[in-house]
Chain A
Amino acid sequence: MTEESNLDVPQAKIRRGYGSLLSIWLVPIIALGVAAFLIVKTVVEKGTEISVIFENAEGMTPGKTQLKFKDVNIGLLTRIDILDDEKGVSVVIDVNREADKYLTDTARFWVVSPSIGLQGITGLETILSGSFIEIDPGTGGERKEAFEGLATPPVITSTDKGTEFVLSTKSLGNISRGTPVVYKGLRVGTVLGYRLAKSNESIDVYTFVKAPFDALVLEGTNFWNAGGVNINVSTSGIEVGAESLQALITGAVEFDTQSIYKNTWKAESGHKFKLYRNFKAKEDAKYTEKADYVLYFAGSVSGLAVGASVEFRGIRIGTVKEITLEIDEEKKKYHIPVLIEIEPQRITITDAGKKLLSVVEAGNLRKKIIENLIMRGLKGKLKSANFLTGQLIVDLVLAPDTKAVFLATSDRYPEIPTMPADIEKITTSVAQLVEKFSKLPIEELGKNLTETVGGIDKFINSGELQSTIAEYRKLAVTVRKVAESFDEKTLPQIGMTLDETRDAIKKIDATLATAEKMFSSANSLIADGSPFKYDLTVMLQELSAASRAVRGLAEFLERNPSALISGKR
């Protein structure tokens, strides 16, 4: 500058002047550097622009709505365009460079916003933060930059580990996509969707069970629709239960494994299960394995009905399925094939040493056990279940000494040989009982009882009471047994006249009634909780049961006096 020349000490001024001149131009140079650095940084960090098509842009704001993966921001919505056909919107998202690897053709996008749906209340956090777009990167594939967004969040994402199973059902009920799968009330999976099975007769429900819960799904596991209300009528009253409020509204699929299947094999992915209509249906169908056998009984099977139980040593192991009549024209013979259905699952295999590979194999093994039993002399015979009604059941017994006769007319079902029923034996024992019965000092006892009523107060605290009670209990039980064991068939064997029988029965009834009345009054005198009280109560129950049985027999005879002579018609 021109002023400098006027100064006395120009050299110093000039140097300083140049110094400050150089330094002052450093400022814009640095500014330029900073700006350039920022621009370069932005360009370098700039990610990929992708477009996602959604039905609408509800809750989305350009510059605000974020793209998230596992709650980490990986991009920002920069623009919303309405599609040319006006059928949706295309949102442009600037995806961070680090997230570039997620942009493949398996990636899925959806909007997370607060909603109340099948999976409960979701996206609650978005009330405060606003909606965001979520990405499920999927399992990779080809690179892509234009996507179609999902209308609803996917039921499972690619990061969910678990196994998919197929449930076959006749009717879908309230099951839909997103219906929870529950194990002991714990949500462990989801219904992915459903499809009409190839046969068009059932529906395949695709179900996903998350790890590690998928390990609970065994080949013997039962699935049932737990939605709605369960009403369970039992001896303890009526129990109304719903799995949960959610299950009530949206339905739920529950599964459980019976204890006998607890050590079976984990079901493979895609394993097909039956989906029971409800808990009860599942309980009823507990035994899914059925093995049919045929039995030919000689003589009449009257009293045997479809549905009658098949027992082995008193344990029900099956059901009578079908009773038909076969007539062989040529041989002038007739057969009555009785088809029974044994449920092998009622038989538990305890042989732990045996290594089994599948439920099917276990089923086969159980069937084999029955076949082995047949070889070892398993026979079927008719057994009276109820002497009064004449109901019969099929009793399976091991009788290796009796010759096995196979009568099979077709080989559709394996045959279990039969042996004659022990009707004669029954009759003999009944006759013996009747004899005992007629010898019972009923009148005497009744008299004694009547006398005792007066001295009851004295009685209560004496040791005599207990012995009387015990005596009466024994009597009552005997009476009931005798009365119940009267079968129409056995009645004529008694050998009494109708009137005699009737009178005897009426007498017994009257005596029992007196005894009952008397003890009832004694009962009220005794303190609650005393052992006498218990004995008395039991005795009273037995007395009334005996009374009822006797009365039943009497009434039957009143209505069917001919039964005494002719037996059952």
Chain B
Amino acid sequence: MTGHYVTARSMDAVSCPTCGLLISNSYRRSTSNRCPRCDSELSSRKRNSLKRTWALLIAAAILYVPANVYPILTLVSFGKSTTNTIMGGVIELVHSGQWTIAAIVFIASVIVPIFKIVALFFLVITVQFNVTWHPRNRALLYRFTEFIGRWSMIDIFMISILIALVKLQAIATVEAGAGAIAFAAVVIITMFAAMTFDPRLIWDKLGEKV
């Protein structure tokens, strides 16, 4: 890779994480480690970004297993209880011909979390091992990961709404299962993992090479 990327660091400056003001390191050293404009603490990179992302990703990956193995909800109607895992629910929806909902649930609950975990793993690994491959594409991948992350919350959101709605009526009761808690944890932890990952690290190695 050629070193024509210009980073704040390569210019011996730091950008304010809050307001984006570019501040020269000489100012930081001589005056204060705080943004002169908004008083935010300045840091060239997110602190311990890689390690934090690693830890959160590993936790998410671990919790992804119970999230899929344990029932996400228990529906009790007419005295009979049905428990469903995420995939079980999708299969049931397919069997009942609800293709659209099945697709939405499948994408939001299965594809998105997997994609996020895999993508973040890919990013932290490439950063960890100083891979300089396609930094622009990786940056794009990161932005995409962050963007779709919030949509995997759709499942938990749906369960909450369903529980609230059904509890109002007496015909059936819906209860969240152990899988739902694990799933919520996966979603939240991956969101944090994406947050703690500092995409600027993608470019750092390239800058060092220059």
| Complex interface: chain A residues within 8 A of B33 (CB) | 7-9
Interface membership of chain A positions 1-12, coded 1 if the CB is closer than 8 angstroms to chain B and 0 otherwise: 101001111000
Contact yes or no, B59 A64, CB < 8 A: no
* Given A24-B55, A24-B56, A28-B58: A34 in contact with B48 (beta carbons within 8 A): no
* 11 pairs of residues in contact across A and B, judged by CB atoms under 8 Å: A3-B43, A3-B44, A6-B44, A21-B48, A25-B55, A27-B55, A34-B182, A35-B62, A35-B63, A73-B81, A129-B79
| Interface flag for A128 (CB, 8 Å) | yes
Contacting residues of chain B (20-60) with chain A, CB-CB under 8 angstroms: 25, 29, 33, 43-45, 47-48, 51-52, 55-56, 58-60
Contacting residues of chain B (74-132) with chain A, CB-CB under 8 angstroms: 78-82, 88
Contact yes or no, B43 A34, CB < 8 A: no
A433 to chain B, nearest CB (A): 84
Contact yes or no, B62 A64, CB < 8 A: no
The A contact surface, by secondary structure, is helix
B155 to chain A, nearest CB (A): 19
Contact yes or no, B56 A27, CB < 8 A: yes
Contact yes or no, B70 A38, CB < 8 A: yes
Q: Which of B59, B66, B178 contacts A28 (CB 8 A)?
A: B59
| Interface flag for A30 (CB, 8 Å) | yes
| Complex interface: chain A residues within 8 A of B29 (CB) | 6, 8
Size class of the contact patch on chain A: 20 to 34
Contact yes or no, B66 A34, CB < 8 A: yes
Closest to B82 in A: A64
Interface membership of chain A positions 67-93, coded 1 if the CB is closer than 8 angstroms to chain B and 0 otherwise: 000010100000000000000000000
A31 to B184, CA, bound (A): 12
Contact yes or no, B51 A21, CB < 8 A: yes
**Tally of chain B residues near chain A (CB < 8 A):** 30
Contacting residues of chain A (259-312) with chain B, CB-CB under 8 angstroms: none
A301 to B40, CA, bound (A): 136
The B contact surface, by secondary structure, is helix
A5 to chain B, nearest CB (A): 12
| Interface flag for B189 (CB, 8 Å) | yes
A34 to B189, CA, bound (A): 14
| Interface flag for B185 (CB, 8 Å) | yes
B177 to chain A, nearest CB (A): 11
| Complex interface: chain A residues within 8 A of B81 (CB) | 73
| Complex interface: chain A residues within 8 A of B66 (CB) | 34-35, 38
A405 to B56, CA, bound (A): 119
A28 to B54, CA, bound (A): 9
| Complex interface: chain A residues within 8 A of B55 (CB) | 24-25, 27-28
Closest to A8 in B: B33
| Interface flag for B65 (CB, 8 Å) | yes
| Complex interface: chain B residues within 8 A of A27 (CB) | 55-56, 59, 189
A63 to B95, CA, bound (A): 15
* Given A1-B48, A35-B66: A125 in contact with B59 (beta carbons within 8 A): no
Closest to A3 in B: B44
For the complex of A and B, the 8 pairs showing the least CB-CB separation, nearest first, are A129-B80, A31-B59, A28-B59, A28-B58, A31-B62, A27-B59, A24-B55, A128-B78
B164 to chain A, nearest CB (A): 24
Contacting residues of chain A (1-49) with chain B, CB-CB under 8 angstroms: 1, 3, 6-9, 13, 17, 20-21, 24-25, 27-28, 30-32, 34-35, 38
B69 to chain A, nearest CB (A): 8
A1 to B52, CA, bound (A): 13
| Interface flag for A130 (CB, 8 Å) | yes
A544 to B103, CA, bound (A): 98
A18 to chain B, nearest CB (A): 10
Q: Which of B70, B80, B178 contacts A128 (CB 8 A)?
A: B80
Interface membership of chain A positions 123-140, coded 1 if the CB is closer than 8 angstroms to chain B and 0 otherwise: 001001110000000000
A420 to B80, CA, bound (A): 85
| Complex interface: chain A residues within 8 A of B25 (CB) | 6
B150 to chain A, nearest CB (A): 20
Contact yes or no, A20 B56, CB < 8 A: no
Closest to B56 in A: A27
Contact yes or no, A63 B56, CB < 8 A: no
A8 to B88, CA, bound (A): 56
A31 to B54, CA, bound (A): 13
A30 to B81, CA, bound (A): 31
Contact yes or no, B51 A24, CB < 8 A: yes
With contacts A32-B62, A130-B80 known, what are 18 further pairs, Cβ within 8 A? A1-B47, A3-B44, A7-B33, A13-B47, A17-B48, A20-B48, A24-B51, A24-B55, A27-B189, A28-B55, A28-B62, A31-B59, A31-B189, A34-B63, A35-B62, A35-B182, A129-B78, A129-B79
Closest to B196 in A: A24
Query: Which has the most chain B C-beta neighbours within 10 Å: A3, A7, A27?
Result: A27
Contact yes or no, B59 A17, CB < 8 A: no
A128 to B77, CA, bound (A): 9
A27 to B192, CA, bound (A): 11
A129 to B55, CA, bound (A): 45
Closest to B84 in A: A63
| Complex interface: chain B residues within 8 A of A3 (CB) | 43-45
A130 to B80, CA, bound (A): 9
Query: Which has the most chain B C-beta neighbours within 10 Å: A7, A21, A28?
Result: A28
| Complex interface: chain A residues within 8 A of B62 (CB) | 28, 31-32, 35
| Complex interface: chain B residues within 8 A of A8 (CB) | 29, 33
| Complex interface: chain B residues within 8 A of A38 (CB) | 66, 70, 178, 182
